[in-house]
Structure 1
Amino acid sequence: MDYHGHSGWLSILPQPDGLKRLGRKILDATLPGSCLLCGADSQGSLLCPPCTNDLPVLPEALCPICAVPTTHGERCGACLRETPHFARTIALFCYDFPADRIVHALKYGHQLAVAGWAGQKLAELAGANVFDCIVPLPLHPERLQERGFNQSAEIARAFQFWAKIPVDRGNVLRTRVTPPQATMPHKERHKNVRGAFECRRDFTGQRLLLIDDVMTTGATANECARVLKLHGAAEVTVAVIARALRH
């Protein structure tokens, strides 16, 4: 899929004209002032005003821990049954169109401008929350080599620039390759990531911000937060570009 929702990238690759059009589309999307989603004039921003207005916002009444919608902003049933190891979740958008295309542009299209944009917006949304250290959710070395960069670390870098909070990029490791969470049944996702993280630093008494791109069930963030708490973290907050919600 490309960023405009059309399939068929592979089908046009053998055609020189198709390659030129594709190259122009990607170039236009990366030029300053060109909207990532539609290519229109965005006046120096990542997105033009109409595309910005199309971004799916989360409702005001959310579970204070995992950010799923609840009737009056109370804890959701899942967090009541088993309290997560993180204290709260900061999310910019619902993981729906076109926010999902923005995440894909970063994760699979290497559009690092998205990380800068998201890091700034998350820093603004976090506001008065005080953190001692930022921890980007780590990738396993094999995945890092495949992708070439860790999208969470790039978001953390931008967040650090705006919030002036140190980032720990090397002491929290992903030690086990796991199947992508999106391919797993919801009930299996906690088992899938169990024991996948390792921490090599004492975080005693520190309030940590754990940054990722998307939260689905929260299983991955919860397992990483569990390890951070075992190494002394007083509190872990999760920040993501988008929160996936069940429809």
Structure 2
Amino acid sequence: MPITVNQPCAPKVDDASLGWLLPPRCVVCGARGMPGCDLCADCLAMLPPARPACPRCACPRADGALCPECRRIAPDFPLARVRAAFAYAFPLDLLLPRLKFHGDFAAGRVLAQCMAVHFAAAPAPQALLPVPLHPARLRQRGYDQALELARPLARAFGLSLRTDLLQRRRATAAQTRLDAAARHRNLQDAFAVRARAPLPAHVVLLDDVMTTGATLHAAAAALRAAGVARVEAWVCARVA
């Protein structure tokens, strides 16, 4: 059944007086935000929604059908479906790097709020898994941007947040400057499953941005090999 979320944009401030004393500010332009949301109405309207897309790779397609490349892939391909909330364009291309590289948790909070609206009609998984960083990268950065997005989504939907199942066992090179083939080679055997209890049958991987899908595919392959029956992915933004 679909998951549900009650708030159209953001959780309400528990203390009404705090919301009056400290009104939210738009994380894009700095203007006064809407009630319970760190975005103004104009910037909220500018967020670029994901267009109809191939259900397997989230590549934009006007008919929303499987793209030719995905039609050539075997039906038991590890990643069953990808849902993207937004296209990677302004102002997402400002907000996501602010979260990922600069610790801007206000940007992360508002992105998670907006993602909750977009994913509210999706079938509920048994567990939500943020794509993990390698421990060395986590120590360097100090936080995991995927986990920062996953926590509020798990709370909003009442999902089990599992950070104990999937580990990044190999420190890979940054994907940014690699082409699609190099990205897939870079992620080969990068993930491992470390469950000591029965695995959930249906999980959703949560990540910030999908470019070629190499990271999500590698994580899904590890989960499927360990016995997870269905692996899907939710991403904040898809690079066209």
TM-score of the superposed pair, with normalisation by structure 1: 0.81
Cα deviation, residue 205, structure 1: 5.5
TM-score of the superposed pair, with normalisation by structure 2: 0.83
Matched, 1:110 2:120: no
Is the partner of 1:75 in helix, strand or coil? coil
Deviation track 1:131-165 (CA, whole Å, cap 9, x = no partner) reads 10111100001110111000111111111110111
Runs of 4+ in 1 over 4 A off after TM superposition: 202-205
Determine which of 29, 54, 58 is the counterpart of 1:67. 58
Contact 2:39 2:110 in 1 (8 A): no
Matched, 1:87 2:88: no
Deviates more, 1:197-206 or 1:45-54: 197-206
Q: 1:224 to 1:179 in 2, by over 3 A?
A: same
In the other structure, the counterpart of 2:18 is none
Give 1:1-247 correspondences, 5 Å limit: 32-43=23-34, 44-59=36-51, 61-83=52-74, 84-126=77-119, 127-201=121-195, 204=199, 206-245=201-240
Q: 1:203 to 1:189 in 2, by over 3 A?
A: farther
Is the partner of 1:166 in helix, strand or coil? coil
Identity value in percent: 36
Contact 1:210 1:239 in 2 (8 A): yes
Deviation track 1:190-217 (CA, whole Å, cap 9, x = no partner) reads 1110110011116546110100000000
Is the partner of 1:64 in helix, strand or coil? coil
Q: Structure 1 regions of 5+ residues with no counterpart?
A: 1-30
Deviation track 1:100-121 (CA, whole Å, cap 9, x = no partner) reads 1110121122122333333333
Q: CA RMSD in A?
A: 1.7
Is the partner of 1:153 in helix, strand or coil? helix
Letter in 1 for 2:87: C
| In 1: Cα distance, 2:207 partner to 2:192 partner | 17
Contact 2:109 2:149 in 1 (8 A): yes
Q: Structure 2 regions of 5+ residues with no counterpart?
A: 1-21
Contact 1:88 1:236 in 2 (8 A): yes
Contact 2:126 2:200 in 1 (8 A): no
Contact 2:27 2:106 in 1 (8 A): no
Letter in 1 for 2:167: L
Deviation track 1:176-233 (CA, whole Å, cap 9, x = no partner) reads 1111111101221111101100111165461101000000000110110010111111
Q: 1:117 to 1:203 in 2, by over 3 A?
A: farther
Q: 1:159 to 1:98 in 2, by over 3 A?
A: same
| Larger RCO: 1 or 2 (CA < 8 Å, sep 6+) | 2
